[in-house]
């Protein structure tokens, strides 16, 4: 009865999450050190502000007047956001979406026909496999080099390009390694894109959360044929429930014009973004500045706590993330699956083995956005259990 695609999405629960269910069924609470939803960890956009902003927006949007690209005042606010970073993106090159996952789906459908290819980084987030399957396209991995701080291996990236390749996904800051692509990497990527006529899909959802000094290098600043920059309010303002994202296009004028024309029709088919939410955008940018400043400072503070604790785990290693919410811990010769299960069984702590993200063995992946006391408790238990598995 179901389509081939739907049947292929009927996956089984993996052993780690079966173990979690079993432990929870016995009444034990699990400390989830994977979830990057900061609203579960004491960081929320000020409710008092939302109580003012949402009703006012509801009143202003009582008459339904949709725009396929998104309401002009919202796109103007997003264009101003980029302008403040020195990047010029006109309002008619911006399209609103109900979140970055939909933005990826739009991008894949825009660029690729059935069985065409999109290059995605490895390590990577499992989301892409599902979006690609639903889009009818294939993902092909290009490697990030752990020995060089998870930099993009541009030579190996280019070697993966085929006649069916249509675009390259860049995530910077990267999830889960925390790598921030340098200007030199972006220039090299743009050169490859020009040579092979490829689009760049630039995911910048962690762009506000740099953990080291400096500004975020953006693909929109380099000479690529077409750059589709993705971002939204989920991470930026800790508002995942608002469901507001965007696509900002830059590049060669003819390529941008063709892409925007197609995206406008795609969006007009669904008109999926709440008019009330769209109306909120300028006010959230304006009145949320102070919150965003304190929020980014808090993430940096929590990383400093985590870094200090991680440095004390014997015979383990990590590349210090330059941005984002996650860190990838190398655990030497210990089997990552056994380590993740032991941490869950003995410490009631959920972390992910590296293979969940196509990371070469042996690694564990977790987030450091928990409240400070939970970070300390969790990583102290990680130290104890990993040391025990080493026989120390």
Per-residue pLDDT reduced to its tens digit, 33-55: 999 999 999 999 999 999 999 99
Identify the domain boundary among 264, 287, 310. 287
Tokens at 57, concatenated: 């927006």
The SS3 call for residue 76 is: helix
Tokens of 235: 């991470």
pLDDT value at residue 213: 93
- Dump pLDDT digits (tens) for 145-157: 999 999 999 999 9
Mean pLDDT of the 139-144 span: 97
Q: Does position 11 have pLDDT exceeding 70, yes or no?
A: no
pLDDT at 10: 66
Token readout for 185 is: 């990497």
Is pLDDT of 161 > 90? yes
278 and 295 both lie in a single domain: no
* pLDDT at position 9 over 80: no
Confidence of residue 202 (pLDDT cuts 50, 70, 90): very high
SS3 323: strand
The answer to whether residue 347 scores a pLDDT higher than 70 is yes
Q: What is the DSSP string of 228-240?
A: EEEEEHHHHTT-G
The confidence band for 13, taking pLDDT boundaries of 50, 70 and 90, is: confident
189 occurs within a structural domain: yes
Do 87 and 230 have their domain in common? yes
- Considering 287, 319, 350, which residue would you say is the last residue of a domain? 287
Is 198 domain-assigned? yes
- Give me the pLDDT at residue 7, please: 72
Do 269 and 311 lie in one domain? The reply is no
Residue 78 near residue 282 (C-beta atoms within 8 A): no
**Confidence (pTM):** 0.96
Same domain, 272 and 295: no
Using pLDDT thresholds of 50, 70 and 90, give the confidence band for residue 1.
confident
Tell me what percent of the residues of the chain surpass a pLDDT of 70.
99
- Per-residue pLDDT tens digits for 263-307: 999 999 999 999 999 999 999 999 999 999 999 999 999 999 999
CA quadruple 262, 266, 271, 277: dihedral, nearest 10:
-70
Domain enclosing residue 212, as ranges: 64-287
Q: Are residues 283 and 134 in the same domain?
A: yes
Identify which of 77, 82, 79, 105 has the alpha carbon closest to the alpha carbon of residue 277.
77
Same domain, 344 and 237: no
pLDDT tier for residue 313 given thresholds of 50, 70 and 90:
confident
155-173 mean pLDDT: 98
Q: If you average pLDDT over residues 226-235, what whole number do you get?
A: 98
3-class SS at 315?
Answer: coil
Positive/negative CA dihedral, 35, 41, 43, 47: positive
How far apart CA 65 and CA 275 sit, in angstroms, is 8
Distance from C-alpha of 218 to C-alpha of 221, rounded to nearest angstrom:
6
């Amino acid at each position: 009865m179901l389509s081939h695609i739907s049947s292929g999405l009927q996956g089984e629960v993996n052993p780690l999450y079966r173990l979690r269910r079993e432990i929870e069924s016995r009444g034990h609470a699990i400390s989830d050190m994977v979830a990057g939803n900061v609203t579960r960890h004491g960081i929320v956009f000020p409710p008092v502000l939302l109580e003012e902003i949402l009703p006012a927006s509801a009143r202003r949007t009582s008459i339904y007047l949709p725009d396929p690209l998104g309401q002009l005042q919202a796109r103007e606010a997003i264009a101003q956001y980029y302008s403040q970073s020195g990047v010029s993106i006109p309002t008619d090159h911006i399209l609103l979406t109900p979140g970055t996952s939909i933005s990826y789906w739009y991008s894949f459908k825009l660029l690729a026909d059935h069985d065409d290819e999109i290059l995605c980084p490895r390590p990577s987030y499992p989301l892409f496999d599902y979006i690609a399957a639903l889009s009818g396209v294939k993902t092909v991995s290009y490697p990030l080099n752990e020995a060089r701080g998870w930099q993009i291996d541009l030579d190996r990236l280019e070697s993966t390009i085929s006649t069916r390749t249509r675009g390259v996904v860049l995530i910077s800051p990267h999830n889960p390694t925390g790598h921030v692509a340098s200007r030199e990497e972006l220039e090299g990527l743009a050169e490859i894109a020009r040579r092979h006529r490829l689009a760049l899909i630039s995911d910048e959802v962690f762009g506000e959360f740099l953990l080291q000094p400096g500004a975020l290098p953006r693909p929109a600043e380099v000479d690529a044929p077409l750059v589709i920059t993705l971002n939204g309010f989920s991470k930026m303002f800790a508002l995942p429930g608002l469901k507001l994202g965007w696509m900002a296009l830059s590049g060669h004028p003819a390529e941008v014009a063709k892409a925007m024309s197609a995206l406008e029709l795609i969006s007009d088919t669904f008109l999926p973004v709440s008019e009330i939410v769209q109306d909120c955008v300028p006010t959230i940018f304006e009145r949320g500045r102070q919150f965003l400043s304190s929020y980014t400072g808090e993430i940096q503070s929590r990383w400093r706590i985590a870094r200090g604790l991680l440095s004390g785990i014997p015979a383990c290693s990590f590349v210090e993330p330059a941005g984002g919410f996650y860190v990838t811990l190398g655990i030497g010769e210990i089997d990552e699956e056994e380590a993740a299960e032991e941490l869950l069984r003995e410490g009631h702590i959920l972390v992910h083995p590296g293979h969940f993200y196509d990371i070469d063995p042996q690694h564990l992946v977790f987030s450091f956005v928990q409240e400070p006391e939970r970070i300390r408790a969790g990583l102290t238990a990680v130290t104890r259990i990993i040391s025990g598995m080493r026989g120390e």
